Amino acid sequence: MTTAPASTGLFRADEMESLRRALRLDPQVLRKLRNDLLKKFEPDELVLNRFPAADAIELHSLKLYQRMDSEIDGATKLLFETESGLLIESVILRIATGRTTLCVSSQIGCAAACDFCATGKMGIAKNLATEEILDQVVQAGQILRAEDRRLSNIVFMGMGEPLHNEGNVTEAIRLLTAADHFARSPSTVLVSTVGVPAAMLRLAKTFPRLNLALSLHSADQATRQQIIPLGKKASLTQLHDTIQEIQAIQDREFMIEYLMLRDVNDSAEDAKRLIDWIANLRVHVNLIPYNSIEASPHLKASPRPTIESFADVLKASGLKTTIRYSLGNDIEAACGQLIRQENRQRAIAARRTEADCDSHVGFLDVRQVVDGFES
Ligand SMILES: C[S@@+](CC[C@H](N)C(=O)[O-])C[C@H]1O[C@@H](n2cnc3c(N)ncnc32)[C@H](O)[C@@H]1O
Ligand code: SF4
């Protein structure tokens, strides 16, 4: 007889199968559990009450640490504590059209170290496990279900660079789109990347209907490297060629994200450079108003009229262009600072434990990693 592990994670297929055999469960029982939790997002009590071995199974790998609801619009920030004791955030966006988007994190901190990004300034980098990525979806889905809403879209635009955690992110997308798990259409999922060409291509080949976005932020190599240190690993030409190759595989529009930074990348000349760089690509340009962060007082947001003029230049050239509206401005700063301070202290404590125990809890050295990543 197979012995079941003490507690079984829902997304560990082997463990789930051992549990099923050990308890002699009908495969239909596990199928129902997955359907109720991952497709319908039913509450834990309901799901567990129907399951014959509630104590043997773990529905969640994240602990909800804090929830912040915006008082001005439909945004909710969820701060989760991971198994390593560090915090991550997910954001639920309830859009006026009735649609809902969940922004998920793929890492704690980020080795790309972009100058404008609170996550990049954390000084740590740690990959989230597949189940930690997926539990953000489960818990947000349950919150929305309690409000009689459905989760429409999932975007990998939270903390971290998804393609620096390629294996776990790919597996998460596989399960999000698998008929016997979340059964979502790949066209409702978007992965945003700072630009890791080989991994972008692999992802497009694996999921031809997945949406992809590149955080370009400048079509001038020197300016891009100045704000995105990792930009030196992949040239603008290489990124352009990669998108062209992806578009031969995927018959869909690619999103170009462009953060509007005052006097850095927001001149008419910058707009012209962007138009030239895009050339024959089929893209949608999304201009992002910058939310200032404490760690980079030298960076300022472009004024609204500048963003609008920039958008007009792009539109006049025939490019599909939108300006991102931001939700949750009132909870943004509070949350970013809290995560940064808490994680720094928690990471220091974890590293101390690591030194004491001579064990390895898996932090990456940000400076080494920036140089070491494949481009
Ligand atoms: C946090 S990143 C995560 C995904 C991926 N690492 C990337 O860079 O595309 C998602 C988006 O947020 C943008 N972003 C980062 N910091 C920002 C800030 N302070 N204000 C506005 N957008 C920001 C990034 O440039 C990127 O387009
Ligand atoms: S790659 Fe994305 S998450 Fe990482 S530091 Fe840059 S903007 Fe932030």
CA–chain centroid gap for 264, Å, is: 26
Residue numbers annotated as active site? 89, 335
Q: What is the pLDDT of residues 242-295, one digit of tens each?
A: 999 999 999 899 999 999 999 999 999 999 999 999 999 999 999 999 999 989
**48 close to 59: Cβ distance less than 8 angstroms:** yes
| pLDDT score of 343 | 79
| pLDDT score of 359 | 41
| pLDDT score of 88 | 95
Longest CA–CA separation in the chain, Å: 71
- CA nearest ligand 1 atom 22, residue: 290
Q: Are strands 189-193 and 211-215 parallel, antiparallel or unpaired?
A: parallel
Q: Tell me how far apart the alpha carbons of residues 263 and 233 are, in angstroms, rounded to a whole number.
A: 24
Query: Where do we find the tokens 């190599």?
Result: 221
**Radius of gyration (Cα) for the chain, nearest Å?**
21
End-to-end CA distance of the chain: 48
**184 close to 148: Cβ distance less than 8 angstroms:** no
Q: Tell me how far apart the alpha carbons of residues 40 and 93 are, in angstroms, rounded to a whole number.
A: 19
| pLDDT score of 326 | 78
| pLDDT score of 344 | 72
Q: Tell me how far apart the alpha carbons of residues 267 and 343 are, in angstroms, rounded to a whole number.
A: 37
Query: Where do we find the tokens 């009132």?
Result: 330
Q: Tell me how far apart the alpha carbons of residues 169 and 165 are, in angstroms, rounded to a whole number.
A: 6
Q: Tell me how far apart the alpha carbons of residues 353 and 315 are, in angstroms, rounded to a whole number.
A: 54
Nearest ligand by distance to the CA of 302: 1
DSSP 298: T
Residues 6+ apart with CB under 8 A from 335: 68, 77, 79, 89
* Residues framing ligand 1 (Cβ under 6 A): 116-117, 119, 157, 161, 192-194, 215, 257, 259, 288, 290-291, 293
The alpha carbon of 3 and the centre of ligand 1 are apart by a number of angstroms equal to 45
Q: Tell me how far apart the alpha carbons of residues 241 and 274 are, in angstroms, rounded to a whole number.
A: 15
Q: Tell me how far apart the alpha carbons of residues 157 and 322 are, in angstroms, rounded to a whole number.
A: 17
The alpha carbon of 160 and the centre of ligand 2 are apart by a number of angstroms equal to 6
The alpha carbon of 111 and the centre of ligand 1 are apart by a number of angstroms equal to 13
User: Cβ(119) to ligand 2 under 6 A?
Assistant: yes
Question: What domains does the chain contain, in order, with CATH numbers?
Answer: 8-58 (no CATH), 63-334 (3.20.20.70)
| pLDDT score of 337 | 58
- Mark residue 296 as left, alpha or beta (left: phi above 0; alpha: psi -120 to 50; beta: remaining): beta
**263 close to 299: Cβ distance less than 8 angstroms:** no
| pLDDT score of 329 | 80
pTM score:
0.93
Nearest ligand by distance to the CA of 109: 2
Q: Could you write out the DSSP letters of every residue in 156-211? A: E-SSS-GGGSHHHHHHHHHHHH-TTTT---GGGEEEEES--HHHHHHHHHH-TT-E
SS3 80: strand
Q: Which two tokens stand for residue 193?
A: 């990347």
| pLDDT score of 123 | 82
Q: Tell me how far apart the alpha carbons of residues 374 and 363 are, in angstroms, rounded to a whole number.
A: 18
Profile the chain (375 residues) by mean pLDDT over runs of 10 residues.
Answer: 60 90 93 96 96 92 95 92 92 92 95 94 90 98 98 96 97 98 98 98 98 98 97 96 97 96 98 97 97 94 98 98 86 64 74 55 51 42
Q: Tell me how far apart the alpha carbons of residues 343 and 118 are, in angstroms, rounded to a whole number.
A: 12
SS3 150: coil
Query: Where do we find the tokens 């789930």?
Result: 16
